[in-house]
Amino acid sequence: MRSVFITGSAGFIGFHLAQLLLKEGFRVTGYDGMTDYYEVSLKARRNAMLAQNPKFTATEAMLEDADALREAALAAKPDVIVHLAAQAGVRYSLEQPRAYIDANIVGTFNVMEVAKKLAVDHLLMASTSSVYGANTQMPFAEVDKADHPMTIYAATKKANEAMGHAYAHLHNLPTTMFRFFTVYGPWGRPDMALFKFTKGILEGRPIDIYNHGEMWRDFTYVEDLVRGIRLLIDAPPVRPESADDIAPGDTLSPVAPHRTVNIGNSDKVRLLDFVDAIEAATGVEAKRNFMDIQPGDVPATWANADLLQTLTGYRPETNIREGVQAFVDWYRDYYKV
């Protein structure tokens, strides 16, 4: 039985990935700090659902606790590590930047040390579309420059990509970095727009719409995202013999078994159309409070997902209205509204 170690297993994405892998017969070991960045009860419920499967075990500890992380991983003896745990949130990084250094830099270093010690078959680590920063050439392709991050969150994720490359090169550690594009869906985070908009609309409160709605996002349904991760598990990068062996558009390093891959829906949706979809799903008209763009926000994201399709034969495609309806149905059921 193949074994996967998932950091952030009680988080939004980690929960969905663990569910998928358990369904496919993997043994899954979770590791989560259960931090109070958002309501811990939501994380506890996700964790309890996973714990119903006898092939799932979990440790509650912080990424920064190198000894606890090492002990949990060595006991699990995983074939693959998927590192999803992080201090998330672009806006929160303006208020609490140190939390991002501790979790995303120190914590990721600890994960890479464990992966090196275990010599895992494949280390997969989460990055973000935010690394594209000030880049305005769209759709964003992995070979495009990502040298101008707009927030400390994006900067820590860009640093993770560079750290991952160094470890892949030095220790021949197959490493895939995947860049997420605005993930949404059932069991989503309360700090994200879909959750806040749905809550506000159903409670009859105004919702804050930044940049007066003139923003575009490549919304990626969470089940599509984790399917992409699952397929990438079976596509570990191999150090090429020469640069001539790297196909055009591939981000495979010429000196390391390291690759960066976008996972996005390859479609940009206007924020106002997103709000329209929530109104349609809830049956309630939103009270719209238009505001200026926030510091660190970018007007648009849009993924080129060609490399993902080349590597796995898969491309996310869930329609925004279908995905939003699934979230609203979950929200109404979970909160009994």
Give the chain's domains with CATH numbers.
Answer: 3-184+220-265+303-317 (3.40.50.720)
Least confident interval from 60-74, 123-137, 317-331: 123-137
Give 293's pLDDT tier (boundaries 50, 70, 90).
confident
pLDDT cut 70: percent of the chain above it: 100
| Residue 267: predicted pLDDT | 84
CB 89 within 8 A of CB 151: no
Does residue 184 have an active-site annotation? no
Q: What's the mean pLDDT when you consider all of the chain?
A: 94
| Residue 133: predicted pLDDT | 86
Give 323's pLDDT tier (boundaries 50, 70, 90).
very high
Least confident interval from 17-21, 198-202, 239-243: 239-243
Q: Is the pLDDT of residue 91 over 80?
A: no
| Residue 48: predicted pLDDT | 97
Q: Is the pLDDT of residue 66 over 90?
A: yes
The mean pLDDT value for 165-189 works out to 97
Query: Exactly one of 132, 153, 167, 184 is catalytic; which is it?
Result: 153
The mean pLDDT value for 54-81 works out to 97
| Residue 18: predicted pLDDT | 98
